[in-house]
Amino acid sequence: MEKLLEQIQKGTVWQFPGGVHPPQQKSLSNGANIARLPLPDKLVVALKQHIGANGKLLVEKGQRVLKGQALTKPVANWSVPVHAPSSGVITEIAPKPSAHPSALPELSVVIEPDGKDEWCTLNPISEPKTLSHTELVDIIHQAGISGMGGAGFPTYIKADTKQKIDFFIVNAVECEPYITADDTLMREHAAEIIQGIELMQQLLDPTICIVGIEDNKPEAIAAMTKAAEHNNKIIVQTVPTVYPSGGEKQLIKLLTNREVPSMGIPADIGVLMHNTGTLYAVQQAVYEGKPLIERVVTVTGNTIHKPGNVWALLGTEIKHLLDCQGFSPVPQQRVVMGGPMMGFTLPTVRIGVIKTTNCILAPDHKELAEPGPEKACIRCSACADACPASLLPQQLQWFAKSKEYDKLQEHNLFDCIECGACAYVCPSEIPLVQYYRVAKVEIKEQQAEKIKADRAKERFDARKERLEREQEERKNRHKRKAPAKSDDEKQKVADALARVKNKSNDGNEKSAVAAAIARAKAKKLEGQNTEIEPDNSEVAKERALRKEQARKYKEQKELSEDATTPDDKKSAVAAAIARAKAKKAAQAQGAQTNPDDANTAPADDKKSAVAAAIARAKAKKAAQAQGAQTNPDDANTAPADDKKSAVAAAIARAKAKKAAQGAQANTDDADTAAPTDDKKAAVAAAIARAKAKKAAKAAEQPDEPSLNDKSTSNVKSEESQTDSPADDKKAAVAAAIARAKAKEAQHTEQSTEPSIDEPSIDEPQTDNVKLQEPQTDSVAENKKAAVAAAIARAKAKKAAKEAQQTQSDEDTDQVAITEPETPSEATPEQTAAEKKKAAVAAAIARAKAKKLQKEGNDQS
């Protein structure tokens, strides 16, 4: 560091890469003193004239303001206020064209000066050394001072830096052609500039201050050297005239031999830089109390008759400056804000002067020719040689045209200072700087969109997390939170566990029981505040089962209702009669049961219910078969059929009564039999039921009439049944009698063996009754019963075939008697004969049933 200071004090200057030497053209405007212009007709003061956010507007339309009065108040970081350049009335607050190549509108305050130029109250400071650091920074901030030689960086930010500053550099180079604003300012106000430097020294406390001035400004160098004689920490250093030696990074390299890192700032290497115009504004704000409301502007060019430097109030329209300096426009006149190298052409001259406006150039066509058409790059490398930032302009231009923004950033596009040296030396007249500017804007927009997207994603994730949390809270809202256990509860649990351990040492059964009770109590104490969720799975299964049973019952009911038609009413009556008979027989059997058999009563009732259900099913089946065979034309025979049905019902009741008496006798005999004999008898009874059922089915078949059918109802062949409706009714009566016989045999078997729950294999089973299989004590007995049942079934089948063959032979020999078509035509003699035949057939059927039952018992 000491060696570097020695080199700087000796006047050593280092070199930076690149650079060009364009024509200076400074003599046009630096020959006269800074002039003051008359007040313009209006002042268009833009609210944003610096880098950073706009301030909050403090005035409104129609309000009168004084010169130096604040129009805005800083409300955010990097925000500085703007002030009224002159006293007057605010006529408009609206967006106006901005001092930018795009001329995009910016909110502006339009003031109509009243000519009085009346100042607001000022607060000058005669002894700034008595001010604290914060007070001095606040004065600079409220004065609205920002960088006046570059991008307009807020001065109070630099003045309040917390980094150690070794070198404070004053940029007085003013390297761009035509511009002489800083040159004339240093000539006329060198002492004020030195006072501004001393104020910054008070704030920053740098090791040394260096004032860099190009060697083409001898008057300014002399004035600044003389003004800084009393301060040995200020060095006025002359630098060679080369463009762009006035660039921030390039001037730091020239004066200190330090290089600012890529994407870094000078403060990172202990350097801070200000422009001479900025330091003059700092001196005015502190010593005079004046805010920044005017600045020196160079107005020059071949179309200007009186080129020079003027004090321009901020907000003064460019047209007013040109008119005051004798502007003579030419066809297709161009007006440039800034110098010829880094300036930009204004789209309109109705734009107001801002804090960074240092030059207004109005050249003719010879002085600043129009650029020719862009040609293909010839790869001469002149642009790379001239670049002061050591970049590759040609490569950057290719990436910019193809919009490869990632590669642009990899090649350090943002290190470009947009000095225009590359475009100045390009033989193909490629506007390289314009490509870079567009690419920078697009990259910044992409970065801003990415930041917005990231923030939106963060908000979305936060919202999603919040919704999930609220949903979880709603689910657990009904659950109580288990509070923390108190010391007393914990002690109770510990005591219970201790009692359990003590009691478990006894080893007897009582101690084990007591220990289990203690454990249950301890567990209850531990979980008394815990929410227990009931398990409703079994309840749900039972509910589903009940629904399924109800559904099946409803389907069966609908099927039975569909099957029941008006023509089936007679069959329904017969089925009801059969059910009544079965119920009466069951009651008679229960009344005659021995009191000693009370323990078996529930089982007998259950068997009786099973038998009744089987009888109802058989009756329903017979009724359906009868309904399907009944001709709709039989409605006229209803009275005779009802009479015959009544006769058949009376006969069935007599048979049921007789069967009940026989069942009682069989029950008394069964009480003395051994358990093994009872089981055999049950098997035999089942075989008898099967035989009776087969005989009943054979009697009900119309194409094979049995002896029972003939004897009971005197029915003729199938052909005669279709011709006579009365015969169909007789067949129904015969079917009911056969069902009664089967029921009688069934009840007889149930009375003999009360413990047997299994019906015949061929008997239909209903959905509401479950039939239990007979339980045996020995596998051998089951095998014997099965063999006996098989033998009995074979004999029953053989007997049925023989009976059918005998009946067929008798039907063949008998002469068919033609019955009348309607019951009203039958004679009394025919009715008596039919009754007699029915009685004979009933007797024969009873004899056969009894014989079949005996054969089954013998086989068992």
Q: What span, in angstroms and rounded, lies between the C-alpha atoms of 155 and 622?
A: 114
pLDDT tens for 134-150 read: 999 999 999 999 999 87
Q: 496 or 426: which carries more pLDDT confidence?
A: 426
220, containing H or E segment: helix 218-227
Instruction: Point out the annotated binding site.
Output: 377, 380, 383, 387, 416, 419, 422, 426
222-233 mean pLDDT: 93
What domains sit in the chain, N to C, each tagged with a CATH number? 38-118+294-366 (no CATH), 123-289 (3.40.50.11540), 371-472 (no CATH), 571-589+601-811+827-859 (no CATH)
Higher pLDDT residue, 674 or 54? 54
Q: Which amino acid would we find at residue 599?
A: N
Per-residue buried b or exposed e for 17-34, using 16+ beta carbons within 10 Å of the residue's own CB: ebbbebebbbebbbeeeb
pLDDT category, 649, cuts 50, 70, 90?
Answer: low
pLDDT number for residue 661: 60
Task: In whole angstroms, give the CA distance from residue 208 to residue 169.
Answer: 9
Phi, psi torsion values for 74, nearest 5 degrees: -65, 135
Between residues 258 and 701, the one the model is more confident about: 258
Residue 73 pairs in a beta bridge with 56
Which element (helix H / strand E) includes 361? strand 359-361
Yes or no: say if 819 and 826 are a contact pair by the CB < 8 Å rule: yes
- 200-214, 641-655, 733-747: range with highest mean pLDDT: 200-214
pLDDT at site 804: 58
**For the residues 533-547, what does the mean pLDDT come to?**
75
Query: Residue 328 corresponds to which tokens in the numbers above?
Result: 């003579």
- Min mean pLDDT across 436-440, 533-537, 566-570, 853-857 is at 566-570
* Closest by Cα among 222, 179, 202 to 279: 202
Tell me the average pLDDT across 370-389: 91
Q: What is the mean pLDDT of residues 776-802?
A: 59
Calculate the average pLDDT of the chain: 76
Out of 169-178, 337-346, 542-551, pick the least confident. 542-551
pLDDT digits (tens, 9 = 90+) for 351-367: 999 999 999 999 998 88
Crossing angle (nearest 10°) for helices 828-859 and 675-700: 150
> How buried is residue 405: exposed, middle or buried, by Cβ count under 10 Å (0-12/13-18/19+)?
middle
Q: Check pLDDT > 90 for residue 814.
A: no
Of 328-342, 378-392, 426-440, 636-650, the poorest mean pLDDT is in 636-650
Phi and psi, residue 785, nearest 5° = -65, -40
Residue 610 has pLDDT above 50, yes or no: yes
For residue 53, the model assigns a pLDDT of 85
Q: What is the pLDDT of residue 77?
A: 82
Please state the rounded mean pLDDT for residues 465-479: 85
Q: Which residue has the higher pLDDT, 578 or 750?
A: 578
Q: Give the Cα separation of 527 and 541 in Å (integer).
A: 29
Whether residue 706 is predicted with pLDDT greater than 50 in this model: the reply is no
Most confidently modeled of 134-138, 551-555, 690-694, 835-839?
Answer: 134-138
Tell me the sheet residues that pair with 652.
Answer: none
Lowest-confidence range among 504-513, 593-602, 694-703? 593-602
Residue 499: per-residue pLDDT: 79
The answer to whether the beta carbons of residues 811 and 705 sit under 8 Å apart is yes
pTM: 0.57
Residue with the bigger pLDDT between 651 and 414: it is 414
pLDDT digits (tens, 9 = 90+) for 615-629: 666 666 665 655 444
pLDDT at 52: 83
> What pLDDT is attached to residue 532?
47
Is the model more confident about 836 or about 531? 836
Q: What is the pLDDT of residue 101?
A: 83
Specify the range with the lowest mean pLDDT, choosing from 247-251, 510-514, 704-708, 725-729.
704-708
Mean pLDDT, range 286-303, rounded to an integer: 95
Amino acid at 814: Q
Tokens 């109509």, residue? 112
Percent of the chain with pLDDT over 70: 63
Half-sphere exposure of 286 (CA within 13 A, CB side): 29
Lowest mean pLDDT among 29-33, 319-323, 694-698, 789-793: 694-698
**Percentage of residues in the chain with pLDDT exceeding 90?**
45
Compute the average pLDDT of residues 511-527: 70
Q: Is the pLDDT of residue 114 over 70?
A: yes
Tokens of 63: 């309000």
Lowest mean pLDDT among 260-264, 343-347, 749-753: 749-753
pLDDT bin (cut points 50, 70, 90) of residue 475 is: confident
Q: In terms of Cα–Cα distance, which of 337, 372, 410 is closest to 102?
A: 337
Q: Report the C-alpha gap between 483 and 720 in whole angstroms.
A: 92
Number of helices and strands (H, E) in the chain? 26, 16
Asked whether the predicted pLDDT for residue 252 surpasses 50, the reply is yes
- In the predicted model, is pLDDT for residue 529 greater than 80? no
Question: 146 is written with which tokens?
Answer: 């920002």
- Encode pLDDT of 58-76 as tens digits: 999 999 999 999 999 998 8
Which tens digits make up the pLDDT trace of 157-179?
999 888 899 999 999 999 999 99
CA dihedral 483, 484, 486, 491 (to 10 degrees): 110
Task: Give the least confident one: 275-279, 660-664, 700-704.
Answer: 700-704
pLDDT tens digit string along 72-106?
999 888 899 999 999 999 999 999 999 888 888 99
* 3-class state of residue 335 by DSSP: coil
Q: What is the CA radius of gyration of the chain?
A: 62
Q: State the pLDDT at residue 767.
A: 38
Please report which helix (H) or strand (E) contains residue 309, including its range. strand 308-313
pLDDT at 392 over 60: yes
pLDDT band at 670 (very low <50, low <70, confident <90, very high): very low
DSSP class per residue in 446-459 = HHHHHHHHHHHHHH
Q: Return d(Cα 538, Cα 564) in angstroms, integer.
A: 39
pLDDT at 335 over 50: yes
Residue 792 scores a pLDDT above 90: no
The band of 745, judged by pLDDT with boundaries at 50, 70 and 90, is low
Token readout for 51 is 């880098």
Residues flagged as binding site for [4Fe-4S] cluster:
377, 380, 383, 387, 416, 419, 422, 426
Q: What is the pLDDT of residue 71?
A: 95
Residue 727 — left, alpha, or beta (φ > 0 → left; ψ -120 to 50 → alpha)? alpha
Instruction: Quote the CA–CA distance of 36 and 297 in Å, as a whole number.
Output: 11
Give the model's pLDDT for residue 574. Answer: 66
Q: 719 or 571, which is more confident?
A: 571
Query: pLDDT band at residue 778, thresholds of 50, 70 and 90?
Result: very low
Q: Rounded to an integer, what distance in angstroms lies between the CA atom of residue 840 and that of residue 843?
A: 5
